[in-house]
Amino acid sequence: MNNRSEFSSKLGFVLAAAGSAVGLGNIWRFPYLAAKYGGGLFLLIYIFFVVTFGFAIMMVEIAIGRKTKLSPIGAYKALHTKYSFIGIIASLVAFLILPYYSVIGGWVIKYFVTFLTGGQAATANDTFFVTFITSPLQPVLWQIVFVLATLAVVWRGVKDGIEKASKILMPMLVVLSVGVALYALTLPGAFEGVKYFLIPDFSRFSVQAVLAALGQMFYSLSLAMGVMITYGSYLNKDDDLEKSVKQIEFFDAGIAILAGFMIIPAVFAFSGGDEAALNAGPGLMFVTLPKVFDTMGMSALVGGIFFLLVLFAALTSAISLMEAVVSTVCDQFKFSRKKSALIVAFTAIILGIPSSLGNGIWSHFTVMNMAFLDLMDFITNAVLMPIGALLTCIFIGYVIGVDAIVDEVKKSSQFKREKVFRIMIKYVAPICIIAILISSVLSAFGIIVL
Ligand code: PHE
- Residue 255 has phi, psi (to 5 degrees) of -70, -35
Ligand 1 mutation pick, 103, 166, 220, max ligand atoms within 8 A of CB: 220
Q: Is the CB of 253 under 6 A from ligand 1?
A: no
Q: How many C-beta atoms surround the C-beta of residue 442 within 10 A?
A: 13
Look at residue 1 in the predicted model and tell me its pLDDT: 46
DSSP state of 3: T
Residue whose CA is closest, atom 11 of ligand 1?
A: 222
Residue whose CA is closest, atom 8 of ligand 1?
A: 317
194 CA from centroid of ligand 1 (Å): 26
Domain residue limits, the chain: 10-444
Look at residue 309 in the predicted model and tell me its pLDDT: 96
Cα dist from 94 to 53, 59, 86, 87, whole Å: 21, 19, 13, 11
d(Cα 180, Cα 130) in Å, to the nearest integer?
A: 26
Rounded to 5 degrees, what angle do the CA atoms 72, 21, 183 make?
A: 170
Longest dimension (CA), the chain: 61
Are 300 and 115 in contact by the 8 Å Cβ rule? The answer is: yes
257 CA from centroid of ligand 1 (Å): 16
d(Cα 244, Cα 404) in Å, to the nearest integer?
A: 19
- Single out the residue of 84, 216, 101 nearest to residue 150, CA to CA: 101
Q: Is the CB of 105 under 6 A from ligand 1?
A: no
Cα dist from 404 to 63, 69, 102, 345, 396, whole Å: 9, 15, 36, 35, 8
Provide block-wise average pLDDT over 10 residues at a time, the chain (450 residues): 81 97 93 86 94 94 97 96 96 95 96 94 92 94 98 97 97 95 89 89 86 89 95 94 97 95 88 76 85 86 95 98 97 96 98 90 83 85 88 96 96 94 94 86 76
Look at residue 278 in the predicted model and tell me its pLDDT: 76
Look at residue 450 in the predicted model and tell me its pLDDT: 62
Q: Is the CB of 320 under 6 A from ligand 1?
A: yes
d(Cα 394, Cα 246) in Å, to the nearest integer?
A: 24
CATH topology of domain 10-444: Hydantoin permease (1.10.4160)
Look at residue 323 in the predicted model and tell me its pLDDT: 97
- Partners of 200 in the β-ladder: 39
Provide the whole-model pTM.
0.94
Q: Is the CB of 231 under 6 A from ligand 1?
A: no
Q: Is the CB of 151 under 6 A from ligand 1?
A: no
Atom of ligand 1 nearest to the CA of 252: 4
Look at residue 360 in the predicted model and tell me its pLDDT: 85
Ligand 1 mutation pick, 22, 28, 100, 101, max ligand atoms within 8 A of CB: 101
98 CA from centroid of ligand 1 (Å): 10
Q: What is the DSSP string of 208-241?
A: HHHHHHHHHHHHHTTTTSSHHHHHHTTS-TTS-H
Cα dist from 2 to 70, 220, 236, whole Å: 11, 32, 12
Residue whose CA is closest, atom 6 of ligand 1?
A: 222
Are 177 and 23 in contact by the 8 Å Cβ rule? The answer is: no
